[in-house]
């Protein structure tokens, strides 16, 4: 099991954390994965997209000489990006493949086509794929504007690796806890926690949170059919609770004892009884408990994990489940009409932790591995991310462990 970490830096400034032996799985919301980082980083994706849109679609004399039929075909592919971005990417790739197969390919047109593909990857915050597309464009035609943009994009991609070296291996916890595998009938128990004072859930905000979760359920059902035909059903129940304080990520990271007090303390004894009653129901197979706080903070999850205690005398003691009575996700968000798509991404990320998936953004050799996976980088919408084979295996959708460039600790 990985060593415990997450201590603040010596200068007392922003702390950086990662999944440790206590099972804490944080998620960094927003354009980057460091909520403590400078707020200006949140504007990088939009600045990138604005710059490349101006460069590609400007009507001045520097625009490349592209055949009208080809330009119209590309614009038609991009037109349905909002509804089906995967289809847009596939159609652009097919156009590139067709134009590359010509006996004498047009270098200027191929460079322009790769730039179109790069621009769509940037709209999805797929920075690594965008860099690859820009490199392909440079093979056919390059200039100072492209080089400057690539340089900025490379710098942004490096900044996304701030927590990259915290883990050396993928720690799996498949088939553990009340949320064992994402199959059969899953009950999602949503507890909306009102805080003492002005921080409480209004009807509109609660509705938006549930709307985001419905989007999450629909997305998971679509992705599940890509891996298996097994039945997957969701049942959702909503509860409310009161709390005198907010136990955020920075406090919870000190140890699971704080989270235990959240559930088992006098004030939250009702949650303990709620959790026990949910597990006794006959019409459900899995239970996922999600606490929603009306706070802007870093969401995280405490998941069940296996623990092997050291034994001086062989044979070693077998792996056993440890601390599985407090498995839950803590979702922190202040919902507005324009940010619920990113809240849906956050909810999905944390839910998959409960079903066995681990983070990818903090594994040393995973920077270019499964770069569109929901457990890796941040994404603006669920349509812009995916569930790759490693995560599918971790949550029970695949039986065979996929190959990875880093070791997997299969508990």
pLDDT in tens, 224-267: 999 988 789 999 999 887 775 665 544 444 444 545 555 555 54
Domains and CATH numbers, the chain: 24-32+166-309+319-410 (3.40.390.10), 39-159 (1.25.40)
pLDDT at site 311: 44
Asked if 386 contacts 373 with a C-beta cutoff of 8 angstroms, the reply is yes
Of 301, 267, 298, nearest to 193 (Cα)?
267
DSSP 108-136: HHHHHHHHHHHHHHHHTT-HHHHHHHHHH
**Cβ burial 53-74 (10 Å sphere, 16+ → b, else e):** eebeeeeeeeeeebeeebbeeb
Residues of the chain with confidence (pLDDT) below 70: 1-64, 198, 244-272, 305-326, 335-338, 411
Q: Could you tell me whether strands 184-195 and 232-243 are parallel, antiparallel, or unpaired per DSSP bridges? A: parallel
Nearest-angstrom CA–CA distance, 223 and 221: 6
Asked if 220 contacts 348 with a C-beta cutoff of 8 angstroms, the reply is yes
pLDDT at site 283: 84
Model pLDDT for residues 277-328, shown as the tens digit of each residue: 887 888 888 899 898 888 778 888 877 765 544 444 444 444 454 556 668 8
Neighbours of 261 (CB within 10 A): 13
Q: Looking at beta carbons, which pairs linking 317-320 to residues 24 or more positions away fall under 8 Å? A: 319/411
Of 117, 110, 119, 95, nearest to 141 (Cα)?
110
């Amino acid at each position: 099991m990985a060593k415990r970490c997450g201590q603040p830096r010596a200068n007392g400034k922003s702390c950086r954390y990662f999944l440790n032996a206590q099972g804490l799985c944080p998620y960094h919301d927003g354009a980057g994965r460091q909520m403590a980082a400078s707020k200006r980083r949140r504007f990088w994706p939009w600045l990138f997209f604005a710059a490349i849109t101006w460069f590609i679609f400007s009507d001045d004399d520097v625009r490349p000489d592209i055949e009208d039929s080809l330009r119209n075909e590309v614009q038609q592919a991009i037109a349905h990006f909002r509804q089906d971005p995967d289809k847009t990417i596939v159609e652009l790739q097919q156009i590139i493949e067709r134009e590359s197969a010509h006996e004498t390919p047009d270098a200027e047109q191929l460079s322009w086509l790769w730039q179109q593909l790069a621009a769509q990857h940037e709209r999805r915050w797929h920075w690594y794929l965008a860099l690859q597309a820009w490199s392909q464009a440079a093979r056919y035609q390059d200039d100072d504007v492209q080089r400057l943009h690539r340089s900025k994009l490379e710098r942004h991609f490096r900044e996304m690796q701030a927590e990259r070296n915290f883990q050396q291996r993928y720690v799996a916890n498949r088939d553990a806890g009340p949320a064992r595998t994402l199959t059969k009938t899953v009950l999602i128990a949503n507890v909306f926690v009102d805080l003492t004072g002005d921080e409480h859930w209004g009807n509109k905000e609660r509705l938006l949170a549930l709307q985001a979760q419905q989007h999450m359920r629909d997305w998971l059902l679509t992705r599940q059919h890509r891996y298996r035909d097994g039945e997957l059903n969701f049942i959702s129940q909503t509860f409310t609770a009161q709390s005198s304080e907010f136990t955020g990520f920075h406090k919870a990271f000190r140890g699971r004892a704080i989270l235990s007090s959240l559930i088992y303390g006098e004030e939250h004894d009702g949650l303990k009884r709620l959790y026990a009653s949910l597990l006794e129901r006959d019409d459900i197979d899995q239970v996922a408990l999600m606490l929603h706080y009306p706070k802007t903070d870093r969401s995280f999850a405490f998941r069940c994990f296996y623990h092997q205690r050291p034994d001086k005398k062989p044979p070693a003691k077998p792996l056993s489940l440890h601390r599985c009575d407090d498995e839950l996700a803590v979702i922190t968000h202040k919902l507005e009409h324009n940010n619920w798509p990113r809240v849906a991404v956050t909810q999905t990320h944390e839910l998959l932790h409960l079903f066995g998936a681990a983070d990818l953004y903090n594994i040393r050799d995973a920077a270019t591995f499964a770069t569109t996976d929901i457990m890796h980088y941040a994404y603006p919408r669920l349509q812009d991310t995916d569930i790759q084979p490693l995560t599918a295996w971790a949550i029970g959708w695949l039986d065979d462990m996929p190959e990875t460039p880093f070791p997997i600790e299969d508990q």
